[in-house]
Amino acid sequence: MRDLSCVLSGYCCTVAPCPYGEAGQDGVCIYLAQPNNAGQRKCQKYPEIVKAERNASSPMMGSGCSSTLFNTMRETVLANKRRRP
Ligand code: SF4
């Protein structure tokens, strides 16, 4: 079975910003941080979003990836984690 857990690749935020985000001129959310050494990109609005969604039945943060196929950003993070666990 395919692992759908979130690896913080930031891919979804480069394709279509969530309701809390805002697309820059290149379409990437302006709140998406630069990648770390593993290729992970964190949301700079994470605390605000978690607080706003604390009573939601399906909080959006950490719900996992719905775009695993052909997602090279996700594959890069997973490959880096295998090399440097
Ligand atoms: S606000 Fe955060 S979670 Fe939403 S699209 Fe932007 S970076 Fe991603």
| Residue 46 CB coordination number (10 Å) | 14
Name residues whose C-beta falls within 8 Å of residue 27's C-beta, 6 or more positions apart in sequence: 14, 15
Determine the straight-line distance between the first and last CA of the chain, rounded to whole angstroms: 21
Whether ligand 1 lies within 6 angstroms of the CB of 21 is answered as yes
**For residue 69, what pLDDT is reported?**
84
Q: Which two tokens stand for residue 15?
A: 């394709």
More confident residue, 32 or 61: 32
Whether ligand 1 lies within 6 angstroms of the CB of 31 is answered as yes
13-50 pLDDT per residue, tens: 999 999 999 999 999 999 999 999 999 999 999 999 99
Domain spans, the chain: 1-85
pLDDT of 66 above 80: no
Name residues whose C-beta falls within 8 Å of residue 62's C-beta, 6 or more positions apart in sequence: 6
Whether ligand 1 lies within 6 angstroms of the CB of 41 is answered as no
How far apart are alpha carbons 20 and 9 in whole angstroms? 18
Q: Which atom of ligand 1 is nearest to the CA of 19?
A: 4
